[in-house]
Structure 1
């Protein structure tokens, strides 16, 4: 079922029976290393977190990315694919490739500079030939935009998707992802005009809590409904904390939430204490160079279910 109003969502959510044996966090993760890292002007057209006036240091970005991979290995196995100089800003693979148990989903990116990433045969062959996953390829669907887990936040333990509509995901794309991920319920809503991806305004923490930037949603009732679905176990971000990418976080285990060092530094003591009360320590990695490209830690991480 796909719903578009907070009331419909809460009614449908309350009627869901538990989903047995579903994992709340991924069994492994993958990253794509930066190669000749640079900022893409095309992506900056609708990514307000990018500043094209900034200069970037490719070697520093590579070092930070390597440190990220090493840090995440504390919670799950991590695979790093090599970067491709033809796609120098392709360090955010979760928009292009995503998984569900036994399936690889390839997204339909809005910008041509990102569409080239979907053509990588090594990633497709790893999931298809090595892991034996079936492939669902949306990249050739010219009548939709679907930037996967940038636009779609999934409660994996319940089979529920939270899909923010923007330039990066339209309703046709949402419907395609609903089928591809085999979700039981999808809540579609419009993001605020200044936002491009849901994963900078919403993080689900191992299916039992949330980090929410309320000003990232066009309808203020939407984040309230999401928090209610989480039993009101929510960390509410200020606009400044959202800009620091505190909403772009991920859980790869039941005990820790990962975010960038800049994001972690923006949290208040009360917010860190609340996360601890929900059962999560905060893990942080310096991604200051990579964040110049308009994304942060969660954007760098592809999940393997």
Structure 2
């Protein structure tokens, strides 16, 4: 089916943006000095100046859209701290700090807990591994929770108890899509996009049941982390290389805004990975 065919089958919807609150950490210390996901190649050097410029363009994009962006101080020795989404899950007054699977990232939890405390939150902790908004995405009044590579499924019940929100477990199967936010994008309170081959049959059935009108993204867009997006309900900030997905978004009434984060992709992250959202309380 072509994009024109999709567009002809869609009833026009007026997409309404809402102002959002984000936090980001500059890539001051970003490099690829170890490999803990399939995107990382220690022989492929990072251009620090380009990484900083691309990150700043993402921050300015949010500001141009009217959103609030807090900047978290990066810590030496934590090159992946730029992927702020992994630092925790913040919903209303509840701030759950990440518990990372790999020792290389463990120090980030302390850094993000300190920032949350300084920002007026009382950090909460899980017993089991959770990797923040990498695997925990709020959609409407529920949380979609990934597992399979990073976040332990046992943490899902803890997240539900801490936030008071229902949690839907989704199992990932392809190591290239090691976090939920690499394979699924929340576009508004009722609309998602996802890459079906990244999920088990049971999880695909769950998504079909919950989101029958979901956008299914093709491999070409998924393989440039095209689903690693941030949406305010109308404007969808996404990797500029995901041109097919951008066309789908337009057909569904969204306004895609492409940004080039090719240097940050070297570490296995893109738009959403670099963006911790401070979610309003949906209850």
TM-score under structure 2 length normalisation: 0.84
CA contact (8 A) 1:210 1:227 kept: no
Where does 1:166-245 land on structure 2 (aligned, <5 Å)?
166-183=148-165, 185-194=166-175, 195-219=177-201, 221-232=202-213, 234-245=214-225
CA contact (8 A) 1:37 1:58 kept: yes
Equivalent pairs counted in the alignment come to 261
Over 3 Å counting, the alpha-carbon distance change for 1:193 and 1:279 in structure 2 is: closer
The separation in 2 between residues aligned to 1:111 and 1:125, in whole angstroms, is 20
Deviation, structure 1 residue 34: 0.8
Deviation, structure 1 residue 245: 0.8
Deviation, structure 1 residue 26: 6.8
Q: For residue 59 of structure 2, what is the aligned residue in structure 1?
A: 69
Deviation, structure 1 residue 287: 0.5
Does structure 1 residue 262 correspond to structure 2 residue 241? yes
The separation in 2 between residues aligned to 1:204 and 1:111, in whole angstroms, is 26
Q: For residue 144 of structure 2, what is the aligned residue in structure 1?
A: 162
Structure 2, gaps ≥5 residues long:
1-16
Q: What SS class does the counterpart of residue 117 from structure 1 fall into?
A: helix
Point out the more displaced range, 80-89 or 52-61. 80-89
Where does 1:85-124 land on structure 2 (aligned, <5 Å)?
85-120=76-111, 123-124=112-113
TM-score under structure 1 length normalisation: 0.79
- Flag as ranges the 4+ runs of structure 1 deviating above 6 A: none
Q: What SS class does the counterpart of residue 298 from structure 1 fall into?
A: coil
Q: For residue 23 of structure 2, what is the aligned residue in structure 1?
A: 30
Structure 1, gaps ≥5 residues long:
1-23
Q: What SS class does the counterpart of residue 240 from structure 1 fall into?
A: helix
CA displacement, residues 166-212 of structure 1 (integer Å, 9 cap, x when unaligned):
231112222222222221x2221321142311111111111121111
Does structure 1 residue 54 correspond to structure 2 residue 44? yes
